[in-house]
Amino acid sequence: MSLTIQRGNFVVITGHVGSGKTTLLRVLLGLLPMQSGAIYWNDRLVDEPANFFVPPRSAYTPQVPKLFSDSLKENILLGLAEDTVDWEGAIAQAVFDQDLAAMPEGLETVIGSKGVRLSGGQLQRAAAARMFIRQPDLLVFDDLSSALDVKTEQALWSRLISMKERRKSREWEVGKETTSVSVRYGWMPTCLIVSHRRSVLQQADRVIVLKNGSIEAEGTFDRLK
């Protein structure tokens, strides 16, 4: 297959189970060996994708996010200096603010081995906050919203899309609520997402449909349905 992703686009990869969606992401990121072909970033050949696609250039969350038996804060920071990051923005972006407010120990909550003290949806949103707090150029999600209820999922993707559309502002509106977020000026992340959900496909700038490891179709949701 051959594909080009424009900066700032919201691109969704979909297809039946076994069509190659996760494999494509993992090869792109250097987590699986590439048998042939080449990867380019702004016309620059990427020789070692595993070392290239890392924060702040890229951030990735797999189907089952990796969390550690430590505090929620340390799982999100992973070594970043606490006074250099935008906690409020990352937590709000991940739609994790209400969950965090309900935790008596807040960010100091110890989440247990592999995040066992968190629900599936909380685990995925904690991993999303870990991505957002780094403000990378490329966000790669492998079925991030699979454990989220419809309302939470729609809020998460809507906030991402709204941020892209209003990236020069420090506020964006979600429904009737306005969330103030301090973001890096001009931050315009590109989103590469694996999902089957209709609500995600409808919001995409571009949908790529895979079948047996090849691109079967691509375009906007309205043109493909």
What does the pLDDT look like over 47-88, one tens digit per residue? 999 999 998 899 999 988 888 888 999 999 998 888 888 888
Query: What distance in Å separates the CA atoms of residue 133 and residue 33, rounded to the nearest whole number?
Result: 29
Digit-coded pLDDT (tens) for 191-221: 999 998 888 898 899 999 999 999 999 999 8
Picking from 163, 131, 128, the residue whose alpha carbon sits closest to that of residue 146 is 128
Number of domains in the chain: 1
Asked whether residue 2 is assigned to any structural domain, the reply reads no
Domain, as residue range, for 196: 10-224
Residue with token string 């919001």: 203
CATH number of the domain within which 116 lies: 3.40.50.300
Asked whether residue 72 is assigned to any structural domain, the reply reads yes
Asked whether residue 92 is assigned to any structural domain, the reply reads yes
Asked whether residue 121 is assigned to any structural domain, the reply reads yes
pTM: 0.84
Structure tokens at 19: 């069509």
Per-residue confidence band for 41, with pLDDT thresholds at 50, 70 and 90: very high
pLDDT of residue 167: 54
Kind of pairing between the strands at 190-194 and 138-142: parallel
Q: E-assigned strands of the chain?
A: 10-15, 40-41, 44-45, 58-61, 138-142, 171-174, 177-180, 190-194, 206-211, 214-219
Asked whether residue 157 is assigned to any structural domain, the reply reads yes
* 170 vs 124 pLDDT, higher one: 124
On the question of pLDDT at 120 being above 90, the answer is no
* 175 vs 62 pLDDT, higher one: 62
Query: What distance in Å separates the CA atoms of residue 196 and residue 146, rounded to the nearest whole number?
Result: 9
Query: What distance in Å separates the CA atoms of residue 39 and residue 143, rounded to the nearest whole number?
Result: 23
189, 138 Cβ separation under 8 angstroms = yes
Query: What distance in Å separates the CA atoms of residue 51 and residue 53, rounded to the nearest whole number?
Result: 6
Query: What distance in Å separates the CA atoms of residue 60 and residue 30, rounded to the nearest whole number?
Result: 12
Picking from 71, 76, 106, the residue whose alpha carbon sits closest to that of residue 90 is 76
